[in-house]
A and B are shown apart, each in its own frame.
Chain A
Amino acid sequence: MNALWQAVWHNLFARHPRAVSAARRDMTLLHRDCGSCNGCEIELRLALSIAHDSTRRGLSLASSPQQADTMLVTGPVTHNTQAHLGATWDAMPDPKFVVALGDCAIDGGVFRGSYAVAGGAGSTLPVDLAIRGCPPTARQILDALGGDTTPVS
Chain B
Amino acid sequence: MNPVFAGAFAIPCAGAARYLLDEAGWRAVAGEPALRFIAMWADESAVIALLQDATGARVMATVAVEQGFFPGLSLWHPEAAMFERMIRDLWGYNAVGGTDGRPLFDYGHWRLAHPLGRPTPPFAAPEPAITGFAHKGTLALMRGKPARVAARFAARVDGRATVAHAIAYAHAVEAASRTPAPARAERLREIMGTLEIAGGALDRIGRIAEAAGAPVLQGRADRLREALARAAGAAFGHRLMMDCVVPGGVVVDVSADGPGALDALRRSVREAAVPALVEASLGGRLRDLPLVAARLAACVAQVDNGVQELGARLEALPQGAVMQASLVMAGEGIGMADGPSGGILHWLRLEGGHIGGAFILDPAWAASEACAMEVAAAAPEDRAIVRAAHGVLASGMDL
Binding site for B on A (CB under 8 A): 33-43, 45-46, 49-52, 75-76, 78-84, 110-111, 113-117, 134-135, 137-138
Q: Does chain A have a CB within 8 A of B343?
A: no
Interface residues of B in 130-149 (CB under 8 A from A): 132-138, 140-141
Q: Which of B149-169 contact A (CB under 8 A)?
A: 152-153, 156-160, 162
Contact B135 A45 (CB under 8 A): no
Interface centre among A34, A52, A81, A115 (most CB of B within 10 A): A115
Please state if A114 and B136 are interface contacts (CB–CB under 8 Å): yes
Contact of B159 with A35 in the complex, beta carbons under 8 Å: no
Set B137, B158, B229: member contacting A37, Cβ < 8 A: B158
> Is there a chain A Cβ closer than 8 Å to B53's Cβ?
no
Residue of A whose beta carbon sits closest to that of B136 = A111
CB-CB contacts below 8 Å: B76-135 with A? 105, 107, 109-112, 115, 119, 129, 132-135
Q: Is the CB of B160 within 8 A of A42?
A: yes
Give the residues in chain A near B105, CB-CB below 8 Å: 80, 116
Which listed residue, A35, A38, A82, touches B136 by the CB 8 Å rule? A35
B58 at the interface (CB under 8 A from A): no
Answer whether A81 and B112 are a contact pair too, CB < 8 Å, given A38-B395, A135-B159: no
A115/B242 in contact, CB under 8 A: no
Q: A131 CB to closest chain B CB, in angstroms?
A: 15
Hey, which bits of chain B sit against chain A, CB under 8 A? 105, 107, 109-112, 115, 119, 129, 132-138, 140-141, 152-153, 156-160, 162, 203, 206, 218-219, 222-223, 225-226, 229, 233, 239-240, 242, 393, 395, 398
With contacts A35-B133, A80-B133 known, is A115 near B223, CB below 8 A? no
Contacts of A134 in B (CB 8 A): 242
Instruction: Choose one: B141, B162, B222, B233; the contact of A39 (CB below 8 Å).
Output: B162
A50 proximity list for chain B (CB < 8 A): 218-219, 222-223
Known contacts A36-B159, A39-B159, A80-B135; A116/B239 CB under 8 A: no
Q: How far is the CA of A34 from the CA of B109 in the complex (A)?
A: 14
Asked if A37 and B222 sit within 8 Å, CB to CB, the answer is no
Residues from chain A with a CB closer than 8 A to the CB of B239 are 43, 137
Question: Which residues from chain A contact B157 at a C-beta distance below 8 Å?
Answer: 37
Neighbour of B225 across the interface among A37, A51, A111, A113, CB < 8 A = A51
Known contacts A33-B134, A80-B129; decide if A42 and B203 are in contact (CB<8 Å). yes
Who on chain A is nearest to B227 by CB? A51
**Cα A134 to Cα B152 with chains together (Å):** 11
Across the interface, B203 reaches (CB within 8 A) one of A40, A45, A52, A115, namely A45
Evaluate contact between A42 and B141: CB separation under 8 angstroms.
no
Q: How far is the CA of A43 from the CA of B162 in the complex (A)?
A: 14
Q: A37-B158, A134-B242 are in contact. Are A116 and B393 (CB under 8 A)?
A: no
Is there contact, CB below 8 Å, between B110 and A38?
no
- Considering the complex, give the chain A residue whose CB is closest to the CB of B134: A35
